[in-house]
Amino acid sequence: MEGLLTESQRALRDEVRAFVRDDVPRQLLLDMDAGKVSYPREFLEAAARRRLLGLRFPTEYGGRGLGWIDEIVALEEVGVLSTSLPCLYSLVSIVGEALNVFGTSEQKERWLRPAVEGRLTVAEALTEPRGGSDFFGTTTVARRDGDRWLLNGQKRFIVGAEGADYFLVYARTREDAPSHESISAFIVERGPGVEVQHVYGLMGMRGGGTGRVYFRDAPVPAENVIGGENGGASVFNQMMIPERMTSGAGALGGARAALEIAARYSDRRKAFGQKIRAFEAVSFMVADSITLLDAARALVQAAARSVDVEDEPSRVRRLVSEAKKFATESTWQIINNAMQIMGGIGYTNVYPIERLLRDSRLSMIWTGSNQIMNLLIQHEYYRELGARQPVRDVEADAPDADKEEEKVYE
Ligand SMILES: Cc1cc2nc3c(=O)[nH]c(=O)nc-3n(C[C@H](O)[C@H](O)[C@H](O)COP(=O)(O)OP(=O)(O)OC[C@H]3O[C@@H](n4cnc5c(N)ncnc54)[C@H](O)[C@@H]3O)c2cc1C
Protein backbone atom coordinates (compact mmCIF):
# COMPACT_ATOMS: atom_id res chain seq x y z
CA MET A 1 0.00 0.00 0.00
CA GLU A 2 3.01 2.24 0.54
CA GLY A 3 3.14 3.10 -3.16
CA LEU A 4 -0.46 4.31 -3.16
CA LEU A 5 0.13 7.07 -0.62
CA THR A 6 0.95 10.59 -1.70
CA GLU A 7 3.91 12.43 -0.23
CA SER A 8 1.67 14.45 2.06
CA GLN A 9 -0.11 11.29 3.26
CA ARG A 10 3.24 9.73 4.10
CA ALA A 11 4.20 12.87 5.97
CA LEU A 12 0.92 12.76 7.90
CA ARG A 13 1.44 9.10 8.69
CA ASP A 14 4.91 9.87 10.04
CA GLU A 15 3.50 12.66 12.20
CA VAL A 16 0.94 10.27 13.70
CA ARG A 17 3.60 7.61 14.16
CA ALA A 18 5.70 10.10 16.13
CA PHE A 19 2.68 10.92 18.32
CA VAL A 20 1.89 7.26 18.95
CA ARG A 21 5.52 6.47 19.72
CA ASP A 22 6.49 9.51 21.80
CA ASP A 23 3.35 10.89 23.46
CA VAL A 24 1.52 7.80 24.66
CA PRO A 25 3.19 6.20 27.66
CA ARG A 26 3.15 2.44 27.93
CA GLN A 27 1.93 2.86 31.51
CA LEU A 28 -1.22 4.63 30.29
CA LEU A 29 -2.19 1.58 28.22
CA LEU A 30 -1.48 -0.77 31.13
CA ASP A 31 -3.40 1.38 33.61
CA MET A 32 -6.36 1.68 31.28
CA ASP A 33 -6.53 -2.07 30.78
CA ALA A 34 -6.24 -2.57 34.56
CA GLY A 35 -9.18 -0.22 35.07
CA LYS A 36 -7.05 2.32 36.96
CA VAL A 37 -7.89 5.12 34.53
CA SER A 38 -11.46 6.27 34.03
CA TYR A 39 -10.82 8.79 31.27
CA PRO A 40 -7.45 9.62 29.65
CA ARG A 41 -8.09 13.28 28.89
CA GLU A 42 -4.35 13.95 28.59
CA PHE A 43 -4.22 11.67 25.52
CA LEU A 44 -6.67 13.89 23.66
CA GLU A 45 -4.87 17.03 24.78
CA ALA A 46 -1.59 15.60 23.50
CA ALA A 47 -3.14 14.72 20.12
CA ALA A 48 -4.63 18.20 19.90
CA ARG A 49 -1.25 19.81 20.62
CA ARG A 50 0.01 18.10 17.47
CA ARG A 51 -3.13 19.19 15.58
CA LEU A 52 -4.07 15.57 14.94
CA LEU A 53 -7.74 15.67 15.99
CA GLY A 54 -10.59 16.24 13.54
CA LEU A 55 -8.27 16.19 10.52
CA ARG A 56 -11.12 16.47 8.00
CA PHE A 57 -12.66 19.59 9.49
CA PRO A 58 -11.99 23.06 8.06
CA THR A 59 -8.92 24.91 9.26
CA GLU A 60 -11.12 27.74 10.60
CA TYR A 61 -12.41 25.22 13.18
CA GLY A 62 -8.99 23.82 14.02
CA GLY A 63 -8.86 20.93 11.53
CA ARG A 64 -6.67 20.49 8.48
CA GLY A 65 -9.34 20.32 5.79
CA LEU A 66 -8.18 16.85 4.70
CA GLY A 67 -10.14 13.96 3.15
CA TRP A 68 -11.16 10.52 4.36
CA ILE A 69 -8.20 8.94 2.60
CA ASP A 70 -5.92 11.01 4.84
CA GLU A 71 -7.91 10.34 7.97
CA ILE A 72 -7.82 6.56 7.54
CA VAL A 73 -4.04 6.71 7.12
CA ALA A 74 -3.90 8.45 10.51
CA LEU A 75 -6.47 6.11 12.07
CA GLU A 76 -4.52 2.98 11.21
CA GLU A 77 -1.54 4.41 13.06
CA VAL A 78 -3.60 5.38 16.11
CA GLY A 79 -5.17 1.91 15.91
CA VAL A 80 -1.84 0.42 16.97
CA LEU A 81 -2.87 1.59 20.46
CA SER A 82 -5.69 -1.01 20.29
CA THR A 83 -9.29 0.14 20.79
CA SER A 84 -10.02 2.52 23.68
CA LEU A 85 -7.65 5.33 22.72
CA PRO A 86 -8.46 5.14 18.99
CA CYS A 87 -12.15 5.27 19.88
CA LEU A 88 -11.71 8.44 21.95
CA TYR A 89 -9.59 9.86 19.15
CA SER A 90 -12.33 9.01 16.62
CA LEU A 91 -15.15 10.49 18.67
CA VAL A 92 -13.98 13.97 17.73
CA SER A 93 -14.34 12.94 14.10
CA ILE A 94 -17.73 11.30 14.71
CA VAL A 95 -19.47 13.92 16.85
CA GLY A 96 -17.65 16.62 14.89
CA GLU A 97 -19.25 15.34 11.68
CA ALA A 98 -22.71 16.24 12.98
CA LEU A 99 -21.56 19.74 13.86
CA ASN A 100 -19.52 20.22 10.70
CA VAL A 101 -22.28 19.12 8.32
CA PHE A 102 -25.40 20.32 10.16
CA GLY A 103 -24.19 22.91 12.66
CA THR A 104 -24.57 26.67 12.36
CA SER A 105 -21.40 28.75 12.51
CA GLU A 106 -22.21 29.57 16.17
CA GLN A 107 -22.60 25.89 16.99
CA LYS A 108 -19.31 25.05 15.26
CA GLU A 109 -17.51 27.83 17.08
CA ARG A 110 -18.95 26.78 20.41
CA TRP A 111 -18.52 23.01 20.22
CA LEU A 112 -16.59 21.87 17.15
CA ARG A 113 -13.53 24.07 17.47
CA PRO A 114 -12.94 23.41 21.21
CA ALA A 115 -13.26 19.64 20.60
CA VAL A 116 -10.74 19.71 17.75
CA GLU A 117 -8.43 21.84 19.90
CA GLY A 118 -8.68 19.39 22.80
CA ARG A 119 -10.37 21.89 25.14
CA LEU A 120 -13.74 20.11 25.28
CA THR A 121 -14.25 16.35 25.25
CA VAL A 122 -17.14 14.60 23.55
CA ALA A 123 -19.24 11.42 23.56
CA GLU A 124 -21.99 10.07 21.37
CA ALA A 125 -25.09 8.75 23.12
CA LEU A 126 -27.17 6.66 20.78
CA THR A 127 -27.61 3.17 22.24
CA GLU A 128 -30.30 2.56 24.84
CA PRO A 129 -30.78 -0.41 27.15
CA ARG A 130 -33.69 -1.58 24.98
CA GLY A 131 -31.41 -1.82 21.96
CA GLY A 132 -28.71 -0.32 19.81
CA SER A 133 -29.42 -1.85 16.40
CA ASP A 134 -32.94 -0.41 16.25
CA PHE A 135 -31.94 3.24 16.33
CA PHE A 136 -35.36 4.46 15.27
CA GLY A 137 -36.93 2.76 18.28
CA THR A 138 -35.32 5.43 20.49
CA THR A 139 -37.34 5.99 23.65
CA THR A 140 -35.44 8.91 25.17
CA VAL A 141 -37.80 11.86 24.88
CA ALA A 142 -37.38 15.61 24.75
CA ARG A 143 -40.30 17.84 25.72
CA ARG A 144 -40.39 21.50 24.74
CA ASP A 145 -40.46 23.87 27.70
CA GLY A 146 -40.33 27.49 26.50
CA ASP A 147 -36.94 28.21 24.97
CA ARG A 148 -35.47 24.94 26.15
CA TRP A 149 -36.05 21.18 25.98
CA LEU A 150 -36.28 18.78 28.89
CA LEU A 151 -34.70 15.40 28.18
CA ASN A 152 -35.73 12.16 29.89
CA GLY A 153 -34.37 8.68 29.29
CA GLN A 154 -31.14 6.77 29.42
CA LYS A 155 -28.35 5.66 27.11
CA ARG A 156 -25.91 2.84 27.78
CA PHE A 157 -22.48 1.68 26.66
CA ILE A 158 -21.42 5.28 25.99
CA VAL A 159 -17.66 5.51 25.44
CA GLY A 160 -16.17 8.57 27.08
CA ALA A 161 -19.27 9.13 29.23
CA GLU A 162 -17.19 9.45 32.36
CA GLY A 163 -15.08 12.30 31.02
CA ALA A 164 -17.08 13.97 28.28
CA ASP A 165 -17.86 17.66 28.58
CA TYR A 166 -20.76 17.26 26.18
CA PHE A 167 -22.80 14.50 24.53
CA LEU A 168 -24.46 14.22 21.17
CA VAL A 169 -27.83 12.71 22.11
CA TYR A 170 -30.77 11.56 20.04
CA ALA A 171 -34.24 11.92 21.53
CA ARG A 172 -37.81 11.70 20.33
CA THR A 173 -39.35 15.14 19.89
CA ARG A 174 -42.82 14.29 18.59
CA GLU A 175 -45.24 11.41 18.90
CA ASP A 176 -47.57 11.96 15.95
CA ALA A 177 -45.19 11.06 13.10
CA PRO A 178 -43.11 8.12 11.87
CA SER A 179 -39.81 7.66 13.72
CA HIS A 180 -37.60 9.01 10.96
CA GLU A 181 -39.48 12.31 11.23
CA SER A 182 -39.67 12.53 14.99
CA ILE A 183 -36.14 12.25 16.38
CA SER A 184 -33.83 15.22 17.00
CA ALA A 185 -30.11 15.44 17.74
CA PHE A 186 -29.02 17.54 20.71
CA ILE A 187 -25.76 18.74 22.17
CA VAL A 188 -26.18 18.10 25.88
CA GLU A 189 -23.59 19.58 28.18
CA ARG A 190 -22.68 17.80 31.38
CA GLY A 191 -24.74 19.50 34.09
CA PRO A 192 -28.00 19.33 36.05
CA GLY A 193 -30.23 16.40 35.10
CA VAL A 194 -27.34 14.48 33.49
CA GLU A 195 -25.91 11.63 35.54
CA VAL A 196 -23.21 9.20 34.45
CA GLN A 197 -22.78 5.81 36.05
CA HIS A 198 -19.95 3.37 35.61
CA VAL A 199 -21.84 0.10 35.38
CA TYR A 200 -19.94 -2.54 33.49
CA GLY A 201 -16.90 -4.75 33.71
CA LEU A 202 -15.74 -5.00 30.08
CA MET A 203 -13.93 -7.87 28.35
CA GLY A 204 -11.62 -5.31 26.74
CA MET A 205 -11.79 -1.72 25.56
CA ARG A 206 -11.16 -0.61 29.13
CA GLY A 207 -10.24 2.80 30.49
CA GLY A 208 -12.26 4.73 27.90
CA GLY A 209 -14.91 5.88 30.37
CA THR A 210 -17.70 3.68 29.02
CA GLY A 211 -20.80 4.33 31.08
CA ARG A 212 -24.51 4.77 31.31
CA VAL A 213 -26.02 8.23 31.01
CA TYR A 214 -29.31 9.16 32.64
CA PHE A 215 -31.28 12.23 31.62
CA ARG A 216 -33.80 13.34 34.21
CA ASP A 217 -35.54 16.52 33.14
CA ALA A 218 -32.17 17.58 31.77
CA PRO A 219 -32.59 21.16 30.52
CA VAL A 220 -31.18 21.72 27.02
CA PRO A 221 -31.37 25.16 25.37
CA ALA A 222 -33.29 25.26 22.08
CA GLU A 223 -30.15 26.41 20.25
CA ASN A 224 -28.49 23.06 21.06
CA VAL A 225 -30.55 21.18 18.45
CA ILE A 226 -28.33 20.04 15.57
CA GLY A 227 -29.86 19.65 12.13
CA GLY A 228 -33.22 21.15 13.05
CA GLU A 229 -36.16 19.92 15.09
CA ASN A 230 -37.07 16.35 14.04
CA GLY A 231 -34.05 16.31 11.72
CA GLY A 232 -32.21 13.59 13.68
CA ALA A 233 -32.56 10.94 10.96
CA SER A 234 -30.38 12.90 8.53
CA VAL A 235 -27.79 13.54 11.24
CA PHE A 236 -27.77 9.85 12.15
CA ASN A 237 -27.36 8.73 8.52
CA GLN A 238 -24.48 11.12 8.00
CA MET A 239 -22.75 10.10 11.21
CA MET A 240 -22.80 6.44 10.28
CA ILE A 241 -20.05 7.23 7.77
CA PRO A 242 -17.48 8.37 10.35
CA GLU A 243 -18.69 5.76 12.88
CA ARG A 244 -18.01 2.92 10.48
CA MET A 245 -14.98 4.34 8.71
CA THR A 246 -13.22 4.91 12.03
CA SER A 247 -14.15 1.41 13.27
CA GLY A 248 -12.78 -0.20 10.13
CA ALA A 249 -9.61 1.86 9.78
CA GLY A 250 -8.79 1.79 13.49
CA ALA A 251 -9.08 -1.99 13.59
CA LEU A 252 -6.33 -2.34 10.97
CA GLY A 253 -3.74 -0.85 13.31
CA GLY A 254 -4.32 -3.47 16.01
CA ALA A 255 -4.24 -6.26 13.44
CA ARG A 256 -0.99 -5.00 11.96
CA ALA A 257 0.64 -4.75 15.39
CA ALA A 258 -0.38 -8.29 16.37
CA LEU A 259 0.75 -9.74 13.05
CA GLU A 260 4.18 -8.09 13.32
CA ILE A 261 4.71 -9.41 16.83
CA ALA A 262 3.73 -12.95 15.81
CA ALA A 263 5.73 -12.97 12.57
CA ARG A 264 8.87 -11.75 14.39
CA TYR A 265 8.31 -14.37 17.08
CA SER A 266 8.00 -17.11 14.45
CA ASP A 267 11.37 -16.06 13.06
CA ARG A 268 13.06 -16.64 16.45
CA ARG A 269 11.13 -19.33 18.26
CA LYS A 270 12.34 -22.87 17.58
CA ALA A 271 10.54 -26.23 17.77
CA PHE A 272 11.91 -29.61 16.67
CA GLY A 273 15.24 -27.88 16.10
CA GLN A 274 14.04 -25.31 13.61
CA LYS A 275 12.40 -21.92 13.53
CA ILE A 276 8.64 -22.33 13.64
CA ARG A 277 8.26 -20.16 10.52
CA ALA A 278 9.82 -23.10 8.65
CA PHE A 279 6.59 -25.03 9.27
CA GLU A 280 4.11 -24.19 6.57
CA ALA A 281 1.32 -24.50 9.11
CA VAL A 282 2.80 -21.43 10.78
CA SER A 283 4.09 -19.37 7.84
CA PHE A 284 0.86 -19.91 5.90
CA MET A 285 -1.03 -18.35 8.81
CA VAL A 286 1.26 -15.35 8.34
CA ALA A 287 0.50 -15.41 4.60
CA ASP A 288 -3.25 -15.59 5.24
CA SER A 289 -3.04 -12.76 7.74
CA ILE A 290 -1.06 -10.34 5.60
CA THR A 291 -3.39 -11.06 2.67
CA LEU A 292 -6.41 -10.31 4.84
CA LEU A 293 -4.78 -7.15 6.16
CA ASP A 294 -3.96 -5.82 2.69
CA ALA A 295 -7.42 -6.71 1.37
CA ALA A 296 -9.11 -5.04 4.33
CA ARG A 297 -6.98 -1.93 3.96
CA ALA A 298 -7.77 -1.78 0.24
CA LEU A 299 -11.50 -1.98 0.92
CA VAL A 300 -11.29 0.72 3.58
CA GLN A 301 -9.40 2.88 1.08
CA ALA A 302 -12.02 2.26 -1.61
CA ALA A 303 -14.76 3.27 0.82
CA ALA A 304 -12.81 6.38 1.83
CA ARG A 305 -12.40 7.36 -1.80
CA SER A 306 -16.10 6.88 -2.49
CA VAL A 307 -16.94 9.27 0.36
CA ASP A 308 -14.32 11.79 -0.74
CA VAL A 309 -15.58 11.91 -4.34
CA GLU A 310 -19.21 12.11 -3.12
CA ASP A 311 -20.27 8.97 -4.95
CA GLU A 312 -23.97 8.00 -4.92
CA PRO A 313 -25.18 7.79 -1.30
CA SER A 314 -26.36 4.18 -1.67
CA ARG A 315 -22.99 3.05 -3.02
CA VAL A 316 -21.18 4.96 -0.27
CA ARG A 317 -23.41 3.24 2.29
CA ARG A 318 -22.65 -0.19 0.83
CA LEU A 319 -18.89 0.33 0.60
CA VAL A 320 -18.62 1.85 4.07
CA SER A 321 -20.60 -1.08 5.51
CA GLU A 322 -18.46 -3.62 3.63
CA ALA A 323 -15.29 -1.92 4.82
CA LYS A 324 -16.42 -1.90 8.45
CA LYS A 325 -17.50 -5.53 8.33
CA PHE A 326 -14.53 -6.89 6.44
CA ALA A 327 -11.89 -4.89 8.31
CA THR A 328 -13.23 -5.82 11.74
CA GLU A 329 -13.69 -9.51 10.90
CA SER A 330 -10.26 -9.68 9.27
CA THR A 331 -8.74 -8.03 12.32
CA TRP A 332 -10.31 -10.61 14.60
CA GLN A 333 -8.98 -13.40 12.39
CA ILE A 334 -5.49 -11.88 12.14
CA ILE A 335 -5.14 -11.40 15.90
CA ASN A 336 -6.48 -14.89 16.50
CA ASN A 337 -3.89 -16.24 14.03
CA ALA A 338 -1.20 -14.26 15.89
CA MET A 339 -2.19 -15.93 19.14
CA GLN A 340 -2.12 -19.34 17.50
CA ILE A 341 1.32 -18.71 15.99
CA MET A 342 2.69 -17.82 19.40
CA GLY A 343 1.33 -20.84 21.18
CA GLY A 344 0.83 -20.69 24.95
CA ILE A 345 2.86 -17.56 25.54
CA GLY A 346 0.49 -15.64 23.26
CA TYR A 347 -2.29 -16.38 25.73
CA THR A 348 -0.38 -14.76 28.62
CA ASN A 349 0.20 -11.11 29.40
CA VAL A 350 3.89 -11.43 28.57
CA TYR A 351 2.80 -10.29 25.12
CA PRO A 352 -0.06 -7.87 24.36
CA ILE A 353 -1.81 -10.25 21.94
CA GLU A 354 -4.39 -11.30 24.53
CA ARG A 355 -5.31 -7.62 25.15
CA LEU A 356 -5.49 -6.87 21.43
CA LEU A 357 -7.75 -9.90 21.00
CA ARG A 358 -10.05 -8.88 23.87
CA ASP A 359 -10.19 -5.29 22.65
CA SER A 360 -10.80 -6.11 19.00
CA ARG A 361 -13.80 -8.33 19.65
CA LEU A 362 -16.03 -5.33 20.23
CA SER A 363 -15.49 -3.85 16.80
CA MET A 364 -17.71 -6.53 15.22
CA ILE A 365 -20.52 -5.48 17.58
CA TRP A 366 -20.45 -1.71 17.78
CA THR A 367 -21.14 1.17 15.38
CA GLY A 368 -23.74 -1.11 13.84
CA SER A 369 -23.14 -4.83 14.36
CA ASN A 370 -21.77 -6.77 11.42
CA GLN A 371 -25.21 -8.33 10.99
CA ILE A 372 -26.57 -4.83 10.50
CA MET A 373 -23.74 -4.22 8.00
CA ASN A 374 -24.92 -7.30 6.08
CA LEU A 375 -28.45 -5.98 6.13
CA LEU A 376 -27.28 -2.73 4.53
CA ILE A 377 -24.90 -4.35 2.04
CA GLN A 378 -27.45 -6.75 0.57
CA HIS A 379 -30.16 -4.08 0.58
CA GLU A 380 -28.03 -1.59 -1.38
CA TYR A 381 -26.76 -4.28 -3.74
CA TYR A 382 -30.25 -5.52 -4.64
CA ARG A 383 -31.27 -1.92 -5.15
CA GLU A 384 -28.34 -1.32 -7.56
CA LEU A 385 -29.06 -4.57 -9.36
CA GLY A 386 -32.67 -3.61 -9.90
CA ALA A 387 -31.69 -0.24 -11.29
CA ARG A 388 -29.52 -1.49 -14.17
CA GLN A 389 -29.47 -4.04 -16.96
CA PRO A 390 -26.50 -6.43 -17.28
CA VAL A 391 -23.77 -5.08 -19.62
CA ARG A 392 -23.80 -8.42 -21.44
CA ASP A 393 -26.52 -11.04 -21.12
CA VAL A 394 -24.19 -13.66 -19.61
CA GLU A 395 -27.21 -15.75 -18.67
CA ALA A 396 -27.65 -16.43 -22.40
CA ASP A 397 -24.11 -17.87 -22.68
CA ALA A 398 -25.21 -21.34 -21.53
CA PRO A 399 -25.76 -24.08 -24.16
CA ASP A 400 -29.36 -24.66 -23.09
CA ALA A 401 -30.10 -21.09 -22.20
CA ASP A 402 -33.12 -21.08 -24.49
CA LYS A 403 -34.95 -23.76 -22.45
CA GLU A 404 -37.20 -21.24 -20.85
CA GLU A 405 -39.51 -23.98 -19.57
CA GLU A 406 -36.64 -25.17 -17.28
CA LYS A 407 -36.27 -21.76 -15.70
CA VAL A 408 -38.79 -22.25 -12.97
CA TYR A 409 -38.97 -19.58 -10.30
CA GLU A 410 -42.03 -20.48 -8.32
C1 LIG B 1 -17.91 -1.26 25.17
C2 LIG B 1 -18.98 -0.70 24.30
C3 LIG B 1 -18.88 0.60 23.82
C4 LIG B 1 -19.90 1.17 23.06
N5 LIG B 1 -19.85 2.48 22.71
C6 LIG B 1 -20.97 3.12 22.28
C7 LIG B 1 -21.04 4.55 22.20
O8 LIG B 1 -20.06 5.25 22.47
N9 LIG B 1 -22.21 5.12 21.82
C10 LIG B 1 -23.30 4.38 21.53
O11 LIG B 1 -24.33 4.96 21.22
N12 LIG B 1 -23.26 3.02 21.58
C13 LIG B 1 -22.13 2.38 21.96
N14 LIG B 1 -22.09 1.01 22.07
C15 LIG B 1 -23.28 0.25 21.76
C16 LIG B 1 -23.15 -0.61 20.49
O17 LIG B 1 -23.11 0.19 19.35
C18 LIG B 1 -24.32 -1.58 20.54
O19 LIG B 1 -24.05 -2.54 21.55
C20 LIG B 1 -24.59 -2.26 19.20
O21 LIG B 1 -25.08 -1.34 18.26
C22 LIG B 1 -25.60 -3.41 19.31
O23 LIG B 1 -26.71 -3.00 20.03
P24 LIG B 1 -27.24 -3.91 21.27
O25 LIG B 1 -26.08 -4.19 22.15
O26 LIG B 1 -28.39 -3.24 21.87
O27 LIG B 1 -27.65 -5.25 20.60
P28 LIG B 1 -29.05 -5.56 19.88
O29 LIG B 1 -29.44 -4.42 19.02
O30 LIG B 1 -30.00 -6.03 20.90
O31 LIG B 1 -28.64 -6.79 18.95
C32 LIG B 1 -28.43 -8.09 19.51
C33 LIG B 1 -28.09 -9.06 18.36
O34 LIG B 1 -29.14 -9.08 17.39
C35 LIG B 1 -28.64 -8.77 16.12
N36 LIG B 1 -29.62 -7.99 15.40
C37 LIG B 1 -30.37 -6.96 15.87
N38 LIG B 1 -31.19 -6.50 14.91
C39 LIG B 1 -30.93 -7.23 13.79
C40 LIG B 1 -31.43 -7.22 12.45
N41 LIG B 1 -32.37 -6.35 12.08
N42 LIG B 1 -30.92 -8.11 11.59
C43 LIG B 1 -29.96 -8.99 11.95
N44 LIG B 1 -29.46 -9.05 13.21
C45 LIG B 1 -29.94 -8.18 14.10
C46 LIG B 1 -27.36 -7.97 16.37
O47 LIG B 1 -26.46 -8.06 15.29
C48 LIG B 1 -26.83 -8.66 17.61
O49 LIG B 1 -26.14 -9.83 17.21
C50 LIG B 1 -21.03 0.39 22.73
C51 LIG B 1 -21.10 -0.95 23.15
C52 LIG B 1 -20.12 -1.49 23.95
C53 LIG B 1 -20.26 -2.92 24.43
pLDDT tens per residue, range 184-210:
999 999 999 999 998 889 999 999 999
Residue type for position 308 = D
- CB-ligand 1 contact for 133 (6 Å cutoff): yes
Give the number of other Cβ atoms within 10 Å of residue 340's Cβ. 15
Measured between alpha carbons, how far is residue 153 from residues 139, 171, 251 in Å? 7, 8, 32
In the reported structure, the alpha carbon of residue 238 is separated from the centroid of ligand 1 by a whole-number distance in angstroms of 18
What is the crossing angle of helices 41-49 and 84-102, to 10°? 60
Query: Given CA atoms 273, 276, 278, 282 in this order, what sign does their dihedral have?
Result: positive
- As a whole number, mean pLDDT of residues 115-123 equals 98
Q: Which atom of ligand 1 is nearest to the CA of 128?
A: 26
- As a whole number, mean pLDDT of residues 258-278 equals 98
In the reported structure, the alpha carbon of residue 329 is separated from the centroid of ligand 1 by a whole-number distance in angstroms of 16
Cβ-proximal residues to 341 (8 Å cutoff; 6+ apart), any chain: 262, 263, 265, 266, 276, 282, 285, 286
Confidence check: pLDDT of 62 > 90: yes
In the reported structure, the alpha carbon of residue 157 is separated from the centroid of ligand 1 by a whole-number distance in angstroms of 9
| Predicted model pTM | 0.97
Confidence check: pLDDT of 129 > 80: yes
Q: Measured between alpha carbons, how far apart are the two ends of the chain, in Å?
A: 47
